Amino acid sequence: MDKNKRSRKGRNGRKSRSRVGVADAAKGSRVISATDAARSFSELLDRVCYRGETFVIERGGEPVCQMSHVKSAHFTGADLIALLDSLPHPDAAYWQAVEDATRQKPMVPESPWEH
């Protein structure tokens, strides 16, 4: 084999895979190994928090997770109504159980101070 054309092999002796798939999955993200991420976790958090950077963390040459700033959830009242409408409605047995439970509750004694 030509000395100038070396095969790209990882630590496990296999050829490393192309990172095109990782780049497509997280455009603008920097790819970092799990080991490097563990060694510099605090620095990565700072970069994500203050610079808005995104990192794809790999283990064994495969992307495992993405580290990025959490976007705030946008949930409106209309979204809540739609969610509640999508849930299954309670059946008659449920309502009967609720009624039985409330009927068995002891009455609160009348306060002697409210006269």
Show me where the domains of the chain are located.
Answer: 20-67
First to last CA, the chain: 102
C-alpha span between 58 and 12 (Å, rounded) = 14
Q: Give the model's pLDDT for residue 10.
A: 46
> What confidence tier does 67 reach under pLDDT thresholds 50, 70, 90?
very high
> What confidence tier does 26 reach under pLDDT thresholds 50, 70, 90?
low
Determine the residue type at 36. D
What CATH number belongs to 20-67? 3.40.1620.10
Long-range Cβ contacts of 6-14 (<8 Å, 24+ apart):
10/61, 12/60
> What confidence tier does 23 reach under pLDDT thresholds 50, 70, 90?
very low
Instruction: Look up the pTM and report it.
Output: 0.44
